[in-house]
């Protein structure tokens, strides 16, 4: 994803901007660039590849200045290239860096071409900088010119702009994409992510949607979406300089579980525009790929495989898209049959899982034309071997047990269900509903995290146990599988998951008073069937721990222990119910005294 860093100071800002870009590298990018005003002239450097390449270029051809803007780009419109890298300029007088997507850029471009503007890139960003240049012809105030130009934009953006005519002023604005102003002593810095400028300040102004700010060395003026001059509070961040710090949490795993609302928010950031999922925001080749394909084959391992299994229910159930899910380590050894128009989707937190990489190679060999990956690390091997990478943006996952990677994978999969489903049988009203539920996901996950204390107490039921069963139906069956995997991986309790309807076909024989049976029971059309399965367990003295919708009335069965989960819409409930199961596994492992973040047998 793209990243912005900018600054105005009495010192040379270039090293600070470069350090900021380095701190945004975890978000993934394909090119980087920087522009400063040096002796009243805008000087720009851009490079494809790593920030270190840009740094080397600047070392060779030094530039410096007290005001500047910088960017890491992740291609959406136009391939990764120096010409497409930001900053973009107009008439060598204005330079802009941009995060987001301008939806009406084609119309604006046509008008600007008629006016004689030249385009040197394939991006949607050049129309912004030409628009500002045009307004500056008649407008003396820099901020007013930017305001007039941005009023013509449709879509999502965060911008930082410098202008030769106004070399003491940095203008920044945001609509639909985040931007913060870091307040230093006699200097200001701007970034799309607080982490980028933590080395220079811990005091931040969080711009609100629609804000535009004029930043000079001695003051910041902010105008809100209604055109009013406003004062925004300066907040001290509690974030530490070290992004992989455990903070106040005892384990990384618990920290990562609690980071899930923010991780999901980052994953959907800039992808839902005016209530609609933008496929352009998924990458510049997204539409071409989705137009071509007729079915889907998901390939992954472990937790990522479980995410794929959930998605199969969504792809087929919501949108009628034929979908298969394969364990990567089996794929190359079983002679799968594949057609050219089957889209391969690999899912991986690391992007480096050998089985998944090999399976992708096999799928290519079998003739798959397109492969995309859902991955937390853009520059990974899977990323490089795929036609499109959709990054989960979960941030570094240090705990071996995957948590925030899983929910963000599910989030991306739901985005894909919408954009691919549009070409199949996804009803319009369901698309709108799913998009709105996606936007509400961070808040829903925050609500369910409030169960933390209750689940910690419930975990005591497992302290003496050696085995557990997990049950679910529909899309909650893979959630039960994921719950069982989490429990066995970090607490070393043997756990197995079954679709609840399968109990009577064998596993019921295992049930006795020593066997906890964890059941996922959302309020959906399968609930009545699930209740019968719960009865089957209870009748055999099994101890049931049921994660149940808060609106349902539990019966007074003594074998039943209930955790009431906040009510959610059924379409996204699989994502929500994954969270309490993670907490359960975590607290059981803590009680057992295992090495939660690095369980045995994993290096
Ligand atoms: O990096 P990947 O997602 O490709 O890793 C695949 C599995 O090894 C991984 O999901 C594993 O199952 C989890 N860490 C378990 O919590």
Q: Is the pLDDT of residue 88 over 50?
A: yes
Q: How confident is the model at residue 603 (pLDDT cuts 50, 70, 90)?
A: very low
Question: Atom 8 of ligand 1 has which residue's CA nearest to it?
Answer: 302
Question: Atom 16 of ligand 1 has which residue's CA nearest to it?
Answer: 401
Rounded to an integer, the average pLDDT of 197-213 is 91
One CATH from 3.40.50.10490, 2.40.50.140, 3.10.105.10, 1.10.3720.10 for 450-597: 3.40.50.10490
CATH 3.40.50.10490 is held by the domain 253-448: yes
CA of 303 from ligand 1 middle (Å) equals 5
Residues 264-282: tens digit of each pLDDT: 999 999 899 989 999 999 9
Question: Atom 9 of ligand 1 has which residue's CA nearest to it?
Answer: 302
Greater model confidence, 322 or 501: 322
Q: How confident is the model at residue 1 (pLDDT cuts 50, 70, 90)?
A: low
CB 388 within 8 A of CB 289: yes
Residues 551-563: tens digit of each pLDDT: 887 777 777 899 9
Please choose, from the candidates 504, 425, 526, 514, the residue with its C-alpha nearest in 3D space to the C-alpha of residue 468.
514
Task: Check if 301 has its Cβ closer than 6 Å to any atom of ligand 1.
Answer: yes
> Cα Rg for the chain, rounded, in angstroms?
26
Q: How confident is the model at residue 330 (pLDDT cuts 50, 70, 90)?
A: very high
- At residue 242, the pLDDT reads 54
Looking at CATH, the fold of the domain delimited by 3-238 is given as 3.60.20
Name the β-bridge partners of 347.
Answer: 300, 374
Alpha carbons 315 and 321: distance in angstroms, whole number: 5
Residue 576 exposure: Cα atoms within 13 Å on the Cβ side: 29
CA of 565 from ligand 1 middle (Å) equals 26
Q: What is the mean pLDDT of the chain?
A: 92
Tokens of 148: 């007039």
CB 402 within 8 A of CB 371: no
Atom of ligand 1 nearest to the CA of 302: 12
Task: Check if 380 has its Cβ closer than 6 Å to any atom of ligand 1.
Answer: no
Atom of ligand 1 nearest to the CA of 400: 14
Task: Check if 402 has its Cβ closer than 6 Å to any atom of ligand 1.
Answer: yes
Sequence ranges of the domains in the chain = 3-238, 253-448, 450-597
10 Å Cβ neighbour count for 472? 30
Task: Check if 356 has its Cβ closer than 6 Å to any atom of ligand 1.
Answer: yes
Task: Check if 408 has its Cβ closer than 6 Å to any atom of ligand 1.
Answer: no
Rounded to an integer, the average pLDDT of 80-100 is 94
Task: Check if 346 has its Cβ closer than 6 Å to any atom of ligand 1.
Answer: no
Q: From the DSSP assignment, how many helices (H) and strands (E) are in the chain?
A: 18, 27
Please indicate whether the domains covering 253-448 and 450-597 agree at the CATH topology level. Answer: yes
């Amino acid at each position: 994803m793209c990243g912005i860093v900018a600054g105005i100071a009495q010192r040379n800002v270039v090293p600070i901007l470069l350090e900021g870009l380095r701190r945004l590298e975890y978000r993934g990018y394909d090119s980087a660039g920087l522009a400063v005003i040096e002796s009243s002239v805008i000087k720009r450097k851009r490079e494809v590849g790593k920030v270190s390449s840009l740094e080397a270029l600047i070392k060779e051809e030094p530039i410096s200045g007290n005001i500047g803007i910088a960017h890491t780009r992740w291609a959406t419109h136009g391939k990764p290239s120096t010409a497409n890298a930001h900053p973009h300029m107009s008439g060598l007088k204005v330079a802009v860096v941009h995060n987001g997507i301008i939806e009406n850029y084609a119309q604006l471009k046509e008008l600007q071409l008629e006016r004689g503007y030249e385009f040197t890139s394939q991006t949607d960003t050049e129309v912004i900088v030409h628009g500002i240049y045009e307004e500056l012809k008649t407008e003396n105030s820099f901020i007013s010119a930017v305001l007039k130009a941005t009023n013509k934009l449709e879509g999502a953006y965060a911008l930082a702009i410098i202008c030769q005519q106004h070399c003491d002023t940095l203008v920044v604005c945001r609509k639909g994409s985040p931007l913060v102003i870091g307040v230093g002593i006699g200097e200001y810095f701007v970034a799309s992510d607080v982490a980028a400028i933590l080395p220079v300040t811990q005091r931040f102004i969080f711009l609100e949607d629609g804000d535009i700010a004029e930043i000079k060395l001695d003051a910041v003026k902010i105008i809100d979406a209604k055109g009013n001059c406003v004062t925004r509070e300066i907040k001290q961040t509690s974030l530490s300089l070290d992004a992989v710090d455990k903070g106040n949490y005892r384990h990384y795993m618990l920290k990562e579980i609690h980071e899930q609302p923010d991780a999901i928010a980052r994953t959907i950031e800039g992808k839902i525009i005016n209530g609609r999922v933008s496929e352009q925001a998924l990458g510049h080749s997204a539409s071409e790929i989705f137009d071509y394909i007729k079915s889907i084959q998901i390939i992954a391992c472990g937790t990522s495989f479980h995410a794929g299994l959930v998605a199969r229910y969504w792809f087929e159930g919501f949108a009628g898209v034929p979908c298969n899910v394969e364990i990567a380590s089996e794929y190359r050894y079983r002679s799968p049959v594949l057609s050219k128009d089957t889209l391969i989707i690999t899912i991986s937190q690391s992007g480096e899982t050998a089985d998944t990489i090999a399976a992708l190679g096999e799928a290519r060999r079998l003739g798959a034309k397109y492969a995309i990956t859902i991955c937390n690390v853009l520059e990974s091997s899977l990323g490089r071997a795929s036609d499109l990478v959709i990054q989960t943006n979960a941030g570094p996952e240090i705990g071996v047990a995957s948590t925030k990677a899983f929910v963000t994978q599910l989030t991306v999969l739901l985005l894909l269900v919408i954009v691919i489903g549009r070409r199949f049988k996804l009803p319009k009203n369901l698309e709108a509903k799913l998009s709105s539920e996606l936007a509400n996901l961070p808040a829903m996950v925050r609500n369910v995290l409030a169960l933390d204390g209750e689940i910690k107490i419930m975990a005591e039921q497992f302290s003496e146990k050696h085995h557990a069963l997990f049950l679910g139906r529909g899309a909650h069956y893979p959630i039960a599988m994921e719950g069982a995997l989490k429990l066995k991986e970090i607490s070393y309790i043997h756990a197995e998951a079954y679709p609840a309807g399968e109990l009577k076909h064998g596993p019921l024989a295992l049930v006795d008073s020593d066997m906890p049976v964890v059941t996922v029971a959302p309020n959906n059309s399968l609930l009545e069937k699930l209740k019968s399965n719960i009865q089957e367990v209870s009748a055999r003295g099994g101890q049931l721990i049921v994660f149940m919708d808060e609106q349902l009335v539990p019966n007074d069965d003594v074998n039943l222990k209930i955790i009431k989960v906040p009510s959610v819409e059924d379409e996204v409930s699989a994502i929500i119910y994954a969270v309490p199961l993670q907490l359960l596994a975590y607290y059981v492992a803590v009680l057992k005294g295992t090495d939660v973040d690095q369980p045995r047998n994993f290096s």
